[in-house]
Amino acid sequence: MKSWHVNRRTFLRGGGGVAIGLPLLNAMFPSRAAAQAAKPIRRFLLWSENNGMVMNAWRPSGGLTDFKLGKLHGSLEPYRKYLLILSGLHNKGSRDNTTNGGVHQGNAGIATGGTNSRGGIWSTEQGVLAPGTGITNPTFYSVDQRICQEPDYRGALAAKFPSYQFGVQVSDIPATSARLNYKYTLTPTFVKDTSDNNKLIPQYEGMHVESNPQQAFKDLFGAPPTGQPMSGGTGTAEEQAAAALRRSKKRGSVLDYVQESYAGIMRKLGTEDQRRLSEHRELIRKLEQQVAVIPPSIANSASCKPPSGAGLPSGRPCKEEEQGTNKGVKNINGCTGDLFEPIGKAQIDLLTMALSCDLIRVGTMQWSMAGNRVGFGHIGAGGATHHDLAHARDPKLEIIHTWYASMMAYMLGKLTSVVEPDGSTLLDKTGILWTNELSVGATHSQEDIPLMLIGGAAGALHPGRYLDFRGKDRSNSDLLLSILHAYGIMEQRFGDIRGEAKGWFQGALDLG
């Protein structure tokens, strides 16, 4: 008999009838509490909208510090001192990828700085990756995923969710047009490179983006902490706590078995298949380590107020063509009228609270996807989809982008309303990279894309400035590398290796 059987049984029999008292749980997090006292917690967020911008209404006038916000950004005036506006950077990795169709796939390059191709993303640096070659030191990440690899940027749920991607109407198809977040994985799929003798290229699928607030709530706030009573349970508090502990132990024992089963099956398989299963097994192992959802030290702090989950919107907002007269009503395609904004706000609320409670320190808020057909009839910009309005350079685009800015203002309001124990706000501790994969939607231009960094990031960023790089041939890869440096991650290069060959990475941008 294998040793794990003994361990599991000993654990079950020894602990089955004895509930571990709650104070012990508090004692499980001493190192985290100590670390928090020593160092402010810094966060990073990606915020994405698509289909390009109205650039002359976006761009500020004036100089480095005396800049005046663009026409679209009136709602951001209260947060002016938190804005670091970046003009003139190109989405180069994507733009220059002439063989693999960057034009509709700019999202894949925006946070990776890499080239991309159909159905996934790859960097020439990863060209050596092929079945059976043995993969070492993978460097392929989007900026957020690179950041959350570092211990400093791992929240209480990091074992399960090193980051969390919130979305609104983001397609479940992991196409590059619909994904910004990428991380190195053991299980790329392979596609033929038709430009290179049908050579098979690994394709890294984007990370999951959750567009259903109810599911996001369940993931982040759903499970009761170990040893805590489940809501709706019966019996005395002590009985409930004991039942919850038994339940948690049973789950743990089953996870032991499942982990061991993965190991057993892996032994029978070839190298490639082993890699796939080992990745799955690693996630199960982390799941088992995840003993509590919210560390009591934080759960008891004033700024962490976990939501109840009541009243969260669900379902899918209708596209422009589906909206018709049925706002607020589920139509035949299963969508509901004007849900785009309510879902977005619910996601922002969950995201803010997940940061407040230190469940995650890295996250994404993604508004639909490249080429999206979201309808904005409810704010007076209807008649055609956002995509079609963008192609037609319709004046209504300004209404749409003004609305997106107001959603950003909504989030900034939430982040400033959370005052952390040291007296600063959550926004002081957070850096938000606001992206759009295109500048001019009508021509799919990836030149001079509109980018903004918002927040203080606990001293890592020096906002309240307008940096204009027009004419300097700098790219989003420069920015991504500079963000990593500001966050204390001293990579030598980031994004497409061709950047280095062309001498783009001569120095970091002045962000701090």
Partner 1 sequence: MKRSTSFVLPLATAVWFVCGCSGLIGDPYPEADNTPGVGGPHPQGPGGPGGPQGKNPPLDPGCPADSFQAPLQMLNEFELTNTLDDLLPGISAEVVIPRGARGEDYRGALLIDQLPSRWQDTAWEIAGKAVQNVQGLTGCAPANQNDACARSFIESFGPRAYRRPLEASEVQALVGLYDAAKAEGFGAGVEMVLAAMLQHPSLLYRVEAGVADSVAGAPTMRRLSGYEVAQRLSYNFWGSMPDAALFAAAAAGELNTPEGIRAQAERLLLHGNSTKMFADFVGQWLYTDYLGSIPKDATRYPSYTPDIVPLLKQELQLFVQSLVQTGGDLNALFTADYGFLNPTLAKFYGVPFTGKDFTKTTLPPAAQRVGLLTFAGLLSTEGPIQGVSLSAASRTYPIGRGRFIRRRLTCEGVPPPIPMATMLPGVAEKIDSLNQRFGGADNTPPRLFFGEVTSSNSVCKTCHALLEPLGFVLERYGADGLSRKLDIDGVPVIETGTYAANGDENPDLVGEYASPAKLAQALAQSASVKSCLSDNWLQYSLGQTLAATDHSCFGRPNAAASATAVGSTSLKDIYLDVVTSDIYRIRKFD
CB proximity list for 411: less than 8 A, separation 6 or greater:
47, 348, 351, 352, 365, 432
Candidate list 174, 233, 342, 382; residue touching partner 1; CB under 8 A: 174
Identify whether the C-beta of residue 511 lies closer than 8 Å to the C-beta of residue 483. Answer: yes
Provide the 8-state DSSP code for 330. Answer: B
User: For residues 226-255, which are near partner 1 according to CB under 8 A?
Assistant: 246, 250-251, 253-255
Please, what's the b/e burial string for 396-408 (b: 16 or more CB within 10 A of its CB; e: otherwise)? bbbbbbbbbbbbb
The contact mask relative to partner 1 for 79-98 (x = CB under 8 A, - = no) is: ---------------xxxxx
Candidates 25, 28, 103, 419; binder of partner 1 (CB under 8 A) is: 103
Interface positions, 376-395, toward partner 1 (CB under 8 A): 384, 388, 391-393
Q: Which amino acid, 424? A: S
Q: How far is the CB of 205 from partner 1 (least distance, A)?
A: 6
- Of 238, 239, 279, 510, the one binding partner 1 by CB under 8 A: 279
Residues in region 22-81 near partner 1 by CB under 8 A: none
Q: H or E element: which one contains 272?
A: helix 271-289
Query: In the complex, what is the shortest distance from the CB of residue 307 to partner 1, in angstroms, rounded to a whole number?
Result: 19
The residue from 260, 349, 468, 500 that contacts partner 1 (CB under 8 A) is: 260
C-beta separation of 52 from 445 below 8 A:
yes
Residue 367 token pair: 């508004």
257 binds partner 1 (CB under 8 A): yes
Query: Are β-strands 164-168 and 189-193 bridged in parallel, bridged antiparallel, or unpaired?
Result: unpaired
* Closer CB to partner 1, 15 or 63, in the complex: 15
- The C-alpha atoms of residue 294 and residue 274 are separated, in whole angstroms, by 33
Per-residue mark of binding to partner 1, 436-465 (x: CB under 8 A): ------xxxxxx------------------
Q: Which residues, at least 6 apart from 209, have a Cβ–Cβ distance to it below 8 Å?
A: 165, 166, 167, 170, 178, 179, 181, 364, 366
Give CA separation, 207 vs 91, 204, 276, in Å: 20, 9, 16
Stretch near partner 1 under the rule CB under 8 A, chosen from 115-123, 232-240, 357-365, 493-501: 115-123
Give whichever of 57 and 287 is closer to partner 1, judged by the CB atom. Answer: 287
Residues 144-173 touching partner 1, rule: CB under 8 A, are: 160-162, 171-173
Segment 183-222, which members bind partner 1 (CB under 8 A)? 185, 187, 189-192, 194-195, 198, 200, 203, 205, 207-208, 210, 215, 219
Contact 159, 282 (CB under 8 A): no
Give the total of residues touching partner 1 (CB under 8 A): 95
Evaluate whether 365 touches 45 at the Cβ level (below 8 Å): yes
Task: Give the residue with the Cβ less far from partner 1, 183 or 401.
Answer: 183
- Told to check if 350 binds partner 1 by CB under 8 A, we report no
